[in-house]
Structure 1
Amino acid sequence: MAILHSHLFLLFSLTSTCLLCAFGLVVTESYSHVVKVSSLQPPTICSAPKGSNHHHHEHQKGMLKLKHRYGPCSPFGRRTPLQNLKQDESRVYSLQSRFKQARVKKTTTSTLPAHLGTSLSTGNYIVTIGLGTPSSEMSVVFDTGSDLTWIQCQPCTQCYAQQDPIFNPSNSSTYHNIPCSSPDCSQLSSATGSPTGCSSSTSCLYSTSYADGSSSNGFFARDTLSLTPSDVFPNFTFGCGQQNNGLFGTTAGLLGLGRNGLSLVSQTAKQYGGIFSYCLPTTSSSTAGYLKFGAAASNASSVKFTPLLKNPNAPSSFYFLQMVGISVGGQALNITPSTFAAPGTIVDSGTIITRLPMSAYAVLRSTFREFMSNYTMAPAYQIFDTCYDFSGLDTVNIPTIVLHFGGNVNVDVGMTGILYFPTQTQNCLAFAANTDPTDLTIIGNRQQRTLQVVYDLKSNKIGFGPGGCM
């Protein structure tokens, strides 16, 4: 399975340090990235991983290889920046809608729409799993914003085109439908946000739909899940979808990594302790990404943890944490921690671009523009209003951006988390503003790239460390 790697050549990259003094964010040093302009454009040619480190970890227990869904090495085809951003808007709209609907449900007696969910069309990272006996391999999007794992199944009443053969339950000796009387069937509703049903044979049915019009419907079932040849889980519960429609590309379905009891993380908690980690590679190919279950994959000592928070008025799958500030070029921005506290901040693997409260984004934008005042601004592009034209330049000097979280955890997002380059003459600040004061702050995958991100549900904490990819 091809792995995507980094194409960005930094001449040097120094990390800003910040001391949180009662959230005062007193910054002691200021640094920047000096980068070749020629390296800013995303790669168009697939190249193999370099070095032996990748091969050393390839078959490590609990480790799945991970790649960017639309990178040059992906078998699923390329997408334009415009397509990615439009689908990202759909994803964000759906997450915000889920949050607001859940809040309404728990604070009033209002009637809710029957179907709530998350848009999967921007699930940018995929892994290969095995299902059934004998095991059938399939590539699926992994998503920290969803709980239910589902795949397309035969016989298909309505299925979209996928690259892998569609799973045939009749070929698996360990497959069986879950009966309506099972406690798992009643738990299903909380995982999908949709009502469950029963077939004429009393088998449990699931139905989940999404804000972008996508949907999946079918039998709630059990079968043997194989993450690696040595990581096998009998009686894994998942959705066997016979009616599926939407923007899922040619993947076989979705791997749910949320906090709900039906997620893969919860179902494998006895073996892995409720711990998983990942490193999201860039769309190029000098380092390899991974999704690992159990103890952190590497450089565990460099990972700093901040508490995971619970929001009783939000979907149980969301990963909330305490964001307290932002620094640009070593300067702490004048943003109070309370700006991010309500309605809260989540980490999401499926959202591309980080969304900030309007007031926080305004300060980030103005400060970034001050640092970049020597460069020629370019027209805005979609959600990006701060873009630059680097034509004719050999190198540029870009200020660091550091996100600050509770527990004195400071995350330098690196160059890939600072600039998004939709065209050759537009290099844009890779953050966007929410449009509503009641919208969640969302830490997107663009700002998580190349970091080691560790989720520890047993200890209710999430950690970030540099240099996570291999």
Structure 2
Amino acid sequence: MAHRDTTIRGRRLAATQTTENQQNLFTFADGNETVRISSLGFLHYANVSLGTPSLSFLVALDTGSDLFWVPCDCTSCTKYLSTNSGARLNLNIYSPKASSTSKSIPCNTSSGAHSACPYQVEYLSNNTSSSGVLVKDVLHLITEQNPSEVVDAPITLGCGMVQTGSFLDGAAPNGLFGLGMANSSVPSILSSLRIAANSFSMCFGDDGIGRIRFGDKGSPKQDKTPFNINQLHPTYNISVAGITVETNRSNIEFNAIFDSGTSFTYLNDPAYTLLSESFDLHAQDRRLPSDPAIPFEYCYNISAAQTSIMLPNVNLTMKGGSLYPVLDPIVVVSGENDVRYCLGIVRSPDINIIGQNFMTGYNIIFDRENLVLGWEKSNCYNVQGSSTVPFKPPNNTVVPPATAAEPRAITPEATRNTRNGSPNSEAPQPSIVLSSRFSVVACTLFILFVHLIAIF
């Protein structure tokens, strides 16, 4: 029986280097770094600069939705974050009147008059939405050549006046950057303006640091699988042709969405049961009874003296035959009386979603031009054009990740509980800590993670 001997405290990933292939690559003016922030929904965030004069926003990166919106002249939004020490960290709020490059987008009414064009996006999470008006402004980018050049891209964005639900409780408090396939998404706009090729990449490092690059088509060494395109609402939907756990292979077939706005992986039956039971069959540690405080069904004991665990190898076979080894399938949950690791998948009542935990250790290429998903192992530091300097916000009004989230502690209770960087939070300290082998996981935000896929 071949197992991967996985150390709880860390792991060395085989890093591969993505070549430029003469591509013109672009990223945000504040750098290509992204950071996974546990207390803000355990999503990947990046600093983006918008408008004139430029204003910075710490936005969540979401391949499951399309519109880029930021809080704007808002009547309902998160305006600051509170830390455990009582410090108040103000978040930037956009205002079209304050930007000299902002332009309204008129809409024709039934009377023939022109008015501001409204938008409303509802998300699957209960009572979670963003609404306001559409505006145009410039998104500040840079090229990844040396020396870099500044590119001001005119884009359409949502002036988010009213946010509800999860956006007030911890996720994307300073805006959501939709990276989906619709014409309204920033990658689509950059392609239509011929600024960047119709492709982008996101790297998900096991230390929580990632990268984002527009125009990236990947390398010749990457594996790939085609997208399944729904013309009415296209998403990054792929086909899985089989699941292998150790030597147990099943030719089960199902479709799933690759969604960076989902922290865990969601599978419906029969895929969920097949993967879970096959993992359980090969797991060498004692399985523990289910805990209603966490969403994972298959959890295993870690003794006090244990420093490593033997994990079954999990592989997905994609349409076309390429293998997708799952490098980070577990979540480590620390309670008051025990420590356990869990298979990081949640039973879904409907759609299948490949979440961030199954993307860890890869540079993922969303090649919309050739309609394929590509992947290559990476630690996100050996990607050409990457910077190894720490992620830093460009000004003091945006909360830095070191303050926004304690990187080793998070509660599985509701998001109203206090944790570093939680919005306006004054509740008691969390009593349960969640982490993966290499990073922290916010467990009971699981409803939120899957629900950043928009409903139009």
Same fold (TM over 0.5): yes
Query: What letter corresponds to residue 185 of structure 2 in structure 1?
Result: S
The yes-or-no answer on 1:159 pairing with 2:77 is yes
| Residue 68 (str. 1) matches residue 39 (str. 2) | no
| Alignment partner, residue 238 of structure 2 | 321
Higher-strand-fraction structure: 2
Could you tell me how far 1:145 is from its partner in structure 2?
A: 0.9
For 2:97, what is the secondary structure of its paired residue? helix
Q: Label 1:152 to 1:198 Cα distance change in 2 as closer, same or farther (>3 A).
A: farther
Tell me which amino acid in the other structure corresponds to 1:245: T
User: How many angstroms does 1:295 deviate by?
Assistant: 2.2
Partner-residue secondary structure (3-state), 1:238? strand
Please name the residue that 1:33 is paired with. 4
Q: CA deviation at 1:39?
A: 5.0
CA contact (8 A) 2:244 2:250 kept: no
State whether structure 2 residue 355 is matched by structure 1 residue 384: no
Q: State whether structure 2 residue 320 is matched by structure 1 residue 407.
A: yes
Q: Which residue of 2 aligns with 1:281?
A: 205
Aligned ranges 1:21-420 → 2 under 5 Å: 31-39=2-10, 61-62=26-27, 64-70=32-38, 78=39, 122=41, 124-154=43-73, 156-162=74-80, 163-181=90-108, 202-211=115-124, 212-228=126-142, 230-248=149-167, 249=170, 251-269=173-191, 270-282=194-206, 284=207, 288-296=209-217, 300-312=219-231, 315-316=233-234, 318-329=235-246, 331-337=247-253, 340=254, 344-372=255-283, 374-381=284-291, 382-391=294-303, 392-414=305-327, 416=328, 418-420=329-331
Matched-pair identity in %? 27
Is the deviation greater in 161-170 or in 446-455? 161-170
Q: Cα RMSD (Å) of the superposition?
A: 2.7
Q: Residues 279 and 310 of structure 1: is their aligned pair in 2 closer, same or farther, counting only changes over 3 Å?
A: same
Partners of 2:181 and 2:135 lie apart in 1 by 20
TM superposition shift of 1:200: 8.1
Q: Following the alignment from structure 2 to structure 1, what is the Cα–Cα distance between the partners of residues 179 and 111? A: 26
Local SS of the residue matching 2:181: coil
Does the 8 Å contact 2:79/2:93 carry over to 1?
A: no
1:371 and 1:399 in contact (8 A); partners too:
yes
Q: State how far apart, in whole Å, the 1-side matches of 2:155 and 2:26 are.
A: 19
1:394: how far off?
3.3
C-alpha contact 1:169 1:175 (8 A) present in aligned 2: yes
The more displaced of 221-230 and 384-393 is 221-230
After superposition, the Cα gap between the structure-2 partners of 1:197 and 1:363, relative to the gap in structure 1 and judged at 3 Å, is: farther
Q: Is the 8 A contact 2:66 2:181 kept in 1?
A: yes
Task: Report the Cα offset of residue 327 of structure 1.
Answer: 1.1
CA distance in 2, matches of 1:209, 1:200: 27
Give the 3-state SS of the residue equivalent to 1:267 in structure 2.
Answer: helix
Structure 1 unmatched runs, 5+: 1-29, 41-52, 54-59, 71-77, 80-121, 182-195
SS at match of 1:292: strand
Instruction: Report how far residue 333 of structure 1 moved.
Output: 2.3
Rounded to whole Å, the distance in 1 between the matches of 2:150 and 2:37 is 24
SS at match of 1:364: helix
d(CA) in 2 for partners of 1:207, 1:217? 4
Q: CA deviation at 1:364?
A: 1.8
SS across alignment from 2:212:
strand
C-alpha contact (below 8 Å) 2:205/2:378 kept by paired residues: no
Relative to its length, the structure with more helix (as a share) is 1
Cα offset, 1:375, TM superposition: 1.6
Could you say what secondary structure the match of 2:366 adopts? strand
**1:88-113, Cα deviation, whole Å (9 max, x unpaired):** xxxxxxxxxxxxxxxxxxxxxxxxxx
Contact kept? 1:151, 1:252, Cα under 8 Å: yes
Secondary structure of 2:271 counterpart: helix
Distance in 2 (CA, whole Å) between partners of 1:406 and 1:132 is 42
What amino acid is the match of 1:333?
R
**Higher normalized contact order (CA 8 Å, seq sep 6+, divided by chain length):** 2
Deviations 1:136-184 (Å, cap 9, x if unpaired)? Answer: 1111111111111111112x33322244321122221110110104xxx
TM-score w.r.t. structure 2 length? 0.69
